[in-house]
Amino acid sequence: MAAEPRRTESGLPIEPVYGPETLAGFDAASRLGTPGQYPFTRGVYPTMYTGKPWTMRQYAGFGTAAESNARYKQLIANGTMGLSVAFDLPTQMGYDSDAAISSGEVGKVGVAVDSVEDMSVLFGGIPLGEVSTSMTINAPGSLLLLLYQLVGEAQGVPSNKLTGTIQNDVLKEYIARGTYIFPPKPSLRLIADVFQYCRAEIPKWNTISISGYHMAEAGANPAQEIAFTLANGIEYVRTAVAAGMDVDDFAPRLSFFFVSRTTLLEEVAKFRAARRIWARVMKEEFGAKNPKSQMLRFHTQTAGVQLTAQQPEVNLVRVSVQALAAVFGGTQSLHTNSFDEAIALPTEKSARLALRTQQVLAFETDITATVDPFAGSYVVEAMTDELEDAALELMAKIEDMGGAVAAIEQGYQKSEIERTAYRIQQEQDSGTRTVVGVNRFQLAEEEPYEPLRVDPAIEAQQAERLKRLRSDRDSSAVDRALTSLRKSAEGTDNVLYPMKEALAARATVGEVCDALRGVWGTYTPVDRF
């Protein structure tokens, strides 16, 4: 009796041998094209990394703004080409550090930013006209973008010189991550306002990073990751078009964010399939004429969920393989996780090693010497087709439900991801899925490791900073600005303009979000089962 074939993470069979017959009838011209041309299967740029490598980012942020600023300067000195900011949970949820709900979480998983003063410290001595900054912030993404703009203005940097990305992808928060504030409808309105504001005020800024990464971390397989991510992207495009924007006016600034796992071949195929699907959706459904509107440009982060606290040095190997998959898949920027992140925040040394991993790939190997090294691979082309079909089937189910928001409200994506996560955990527990150092090849005793820890005194320090800020500022100016913000939120005016006035008057992140909570309310999740 023949053995069952191995299967991909998406559950598709992997054949032991692939040959020319695998691609019988394969129309290379329409399915592949050439690099830099529709449907962008082979990459969004004609030269890819042969001219210059991908942007090397390191995701960092912890404790106070001053501590994170010091880490950013270290990363820049070590060759990081772009900053990527992690914010603590209170900031992500739109609460000030001295709010009761923030207790115990200030500065823990990212940097605490309560006001324009914190943002000024965070980027002190870093010329914002010369660096590209990505900020992982969603529900209050508009606030952090405006704080960044205000710091740039204080540095004398024109807003049309600022470059970077805000994640600003709230739909995946309802599906997988949970750092939402407002219900879906006003959240989408806020995102459309960001699109319009940036087109007029910060034209080089990427207004959204539509994220599959967090869904993958929650358990989504590759087919689910690209299907649910692209379905969310379609929802954002529809929202902007319904608000009166022309697709070619905002679509070139859309970007995506994916995970890269250790299953290298399927990951390469995933990225190729995602580019092809998005190009066709933008061209055929939305009538995008600008090739830049049809390009799926994306940032990649290696898979944090696959890192282990056991034998953490093995994570260096995992991250190297994951980074290779991202590069072979054609990423535009990359963050490599530090080997100790399953234990605690990365140390300075481990963060430097993670960056060095990218630098070795870019400058010591030959993978940047040619465009799209996997083109024509029997196995990768077959996997790309299969993944595309699987993702399109899932996207069709979401369309049948009425689109991404309607599916979210029915709990569809969340429940599908939870099923997959449960299956993976069962496989690990039973040993049918090997995790080196966890269920095979264990050590009798783990070696001691001293992790980086955040000083709990930070919470009191932030509270004191807020107390001084509130006593020093013009309270009447803050009140007037927040009243203007509430009126805009009640109507149809773009809320970013009065929001900027409030933040410039030194209103806090929590105060601005509370003003919007008072108008829009908050979101309560619904479980499908």
Domain assignment present for 475: no
Give the mean model confidence (pLDDT) for residues 431-445: 95
User: Tell me, what's the pLDDT at 17?
Assistant: 92
**Token code pair at residue 348:** 């300075």
Domain assignment present for 376: yes
**Token code pair at residue 46:** 């004609």
Give the mean model confidence (pLDDT) for residues 70-86: 89
Give the mean model confidence (pLDDT) for residues 219-233: 98
Domain assignment present for 280: yes
Q: What is the CATH number of the domain that holds 342?
A: 3.20.20.240
**Token code pair at residue 242:** 């319904």
Domain that holds residue 10: 6-44+56-417
3 pLDDT exceeds 70?
Answer: no
User: Tell me, what's the pLDDT at 178?
Assistant: 93
209 pLDDT exceeds 90?
Answer: yes
Give the mean model confidence (pLDDT) for residues 349-373: 96
Domain assignment present for 516: no
Domain assignment present for 69: yes
Separation in Å, CA 283 to CA 64, 84, 297, 321, 390: 45, 31, 15, 34, 21
User: Tell me, what's the pLDDT at 528?
Assistant: 53
Give the mean model confidence (pLDDT) for residues 408-421: 95
Model confidence over 447-477: pLDDT tens digits?
A: 888 877 888 899 999 999 999 999 999 999 9
Q: For 243-263, where are the alpha helices, taking DSSP H only? A: 247-250
Among the listed residues 470, 347, 516, 473, the one whose alpha carbon sits nearest the alpha carbon of residue 97: 470
230 pLDDT exceeds 90?
Answer: yes
Please give the share of the chain, as a percent, with pLDDT higher than 90: 88
Long-range contacts of 314-321 (CB under 8 A, 24+ apart): 314/339, 314/436, 314/437, 315/339, 315/340, 315/341, 315/342, 316/353, 316/357, 318/262, 319/354, 319/357, 320/357, 320/361, 321/262, 321/264
Domain assignment present for 389: yes
Domain assignment present for 430: no
User: Tell me, what's the pLDDT at 455?
Assistant: 86
Model confidence over 343-355: pLDDT tens digits?
A: 988 888 999 999 9
Question: Strands 132-136 and 205-206, how do they pair?
Answer: unpaired
Q: Chain-wide mean pLDDT for the chain?
A: 95
Domain assignment present for 393: yes
Give the mean model confidence (pLDDT) for residues 278-283: 98
Q: Which residue would you say has higher pLDDT here, 432 or 2?
A: 432
Model confidence over 321-335: pLDDT tens digits?
A: 999 999 999 999 999
User: Tell me, what's the pLDDT at 2?
Assistant: 57
Structural domains counted in the chain: 1
pLDDT category of residue 362 using cuts at 50, 70 and 90: very high
Cα dihedral 367, 373, 378, 379, rounded to 10, equals: 40
527 pLDDT exceeds 80?
Answer: no
pLDDT category of residue 529 using cuts at 50, 70 and 90: very low
Model confidence over 13-42: pLDDT tens digits?
A: 999 999 888 777 767 667 788 999 999 999
Residues in the chain: 529
3-state secondary structure of 505: coil
Cβ atoms 437, 428 nearer than 8 A: no
